[in-house]
Structure formats: structure tokens, C-alpha cells
Amino acid sequence: MDWALEVVQVPVSDLDRAVSFYRDQLGFVLDHRTTTDQMDFAQLTPPGSGCSIVLGMAQMAPGSLHGLQLVVPDARAARQQLVERGVDAGDVTVIDPRDGGTLFGFSDPDGNSWTVQEMKVRAGRPLIPLEARIGYGADQD
């Protein structure tokens, strides 16, 4: 039996601000924004990820989620991309020179914190192959 983690709820105080941050500054894809009389939430997915985040539905205090982790093939390039998009990203730290030991962090506007881990193996072997991604062939970041 497969058990796939597909959605993580991220607690935020301002949905519009959070969508703007995750979409425009981090480059996550806005899958959908659902607004009804009873609820307002958005689902976004990091490029290349099989797991999405949902903003606006969490029952935790905004800014209380810590320890979320993204994996990239090049931490320095990823950090530079975020800094160019206005994200206050921490310095790249090498804890262990082997693959997986290079990291940096950042927080969203509410204080939810993320760690970005370098896994060079992902450059040649992404978890979701490019040809299997929705929108493959369109401008991918």
C-alpha cells in the first residue's frame, strides 16, 4: 500500500499576502483558490514536488509551523533566486560535505520557517521526472 504525503496545511494570517509570497516570491504554482461563503483557501505546489501546501485552512496559530523542508539540486543557486525575488534567506551552511549536508533557511511573512536542503542527486534524478509534470514544455523555473 502506498502512503503519499500530498498536502501540508500552513497557518497564515493574511491569505492574499501568503499567496503572493508563495507564488510570486518562492515560485510555487497556484493550483487553485477556493472562496465560498464558508471558506477561503488556496493550494500551491512547489515546482517538481508531489506535495502541495494549503493556505487558509490550518487550525494552528499563524507562524507556528516550523521544520518544513524543501530539497533542491543546488542550494546556492536556489538561495540566490529567492534573494533576487525579495526573500530574506539565511546563509548557506555546510554541515556535512556529502550530499544532503548543505542547507539554508527562510521564513514566510507570518514566521512559518522552512529549510532548503541541497541534494545534488536531484539534478539528474528528480522525484517527479520533467516529462511527467503538468505543463511540461511550458516555461519551467
Three-state DSSP string of the chain: CCCCCCEEEECCCCHHHHHHHHHHHCCCEEEEEEECCCCEEEEEECCCCCCEEEECCCCCCCCCCCCEEEEECCHHHHHHHHHHCCCCCCCCEECCCCCCCEEEEEECCCCCEEEEEECCHHHHCCCCCHHHCCCECECCC
pTM score, two decimals? 0.88
Give, for all 141 residues of the chain, the pLDDT tens digit. 878 889 999 999 999 999 999 999 999 999 999 999 999 999 999 998 989 999 998 899 999 999 999 999 999 999 999 999 999 999 999 999 998 899 999 999 999 999 999 999 877 777 777 777 665 555 544
